[in-house]
Amino acid sequence: MESIKSANLMIKLFIIQCLAFACIAQDFDFFYFVQQWPGSYCDTQKSCCYPSTGKPDSDFGVHGLWPNYKDGSYPSNCDPDVPFDPSKISDLRSNMQKEWPTLACPSGNGLDFWGHEWTKHGTCSESVLDQHDYFATTLNLKNQVNLLQSLENAGIHPDGGSYSLASIKSAIKQGTGFTPYIECNVDSSGNSQLYQVYMCVDNSGSNLIACPIFPRGKCGSQIQFPTF
């Protein structure tokens, strides 16, 4: 009888260990890779402040790489024991200032922005990406996904004009192979404008994939693409 109890206990412990390992090995389903158009960030009632390093290029900038679940929920602030450490990304710093600029006020050097992204989202990807890899992987994705080129190849330019939402999605799908989710905001006059573009990435952070689920919200059929 004791041997049966011991065997049952060993089985239970084995199952718990397996479940724990599964949680560590894969604790989210995919990433949203999110880029934002600086002209739309700035062209609001709130406005913006250029980074202390100067005005960013007229190009989409990284917002973040966000672990998500297929049911639409997402983990956040997963590991308070691993705070953001700027020294771990010193080799990436100049590239991040170019590709991942902050536009928040007051003007800053990006560290607060990147620290927020690591704390809220990056710590939830530690099963596959350490702090340096999290930022390096995101920059690699930025190099792979040239949204502005895809749009301009289709005759869609940041000239303040209005374009159909369908044509914007089609242009990005043509350029990347995958349908994006488009997030809009409104300018100071209340007009809908192209703000953020979401692409989906597998849970290794390596490959674009078809989005299992899109965020909630929608744009109008015609949206502006403001200058910057």
Model pLDDT, residue 20: 40
Q: Are 92 and 139 in contact (CB under 8 A)?
A: yes
Q: Are 97 and 110 in contact (CB under 8 A)?
A: yes
Write the CB contacts of 154 (distance below 8 Å, at least 6 apart in sequence).
Answer: 167, 170, 171, 174
Instruction: Read off the pLDDT of residues 56-110 as tens digits, 9 standing for 90 and up.
Output: 999 999 999 999 999 999 999 999 999 999 999 999 999 999 999 999 999 999 9
pTM for the predicted model, two decimal places: 0.88
pLDDT for residue 23 is more than 70: no
Instruction: Read off the pLDDT of residues 38-59 as tens digits, 9 standing for 90 and up.
Output: 999 999 988 899 999 999 999 9
Q: Which residues are catalytic?
A: 63, 117, 121
- Whole-number mean pLDDT of the chain? 91
pLDDT for residue 9 is more than 50: no
pLDDT for residue 163 is more than 80: yes
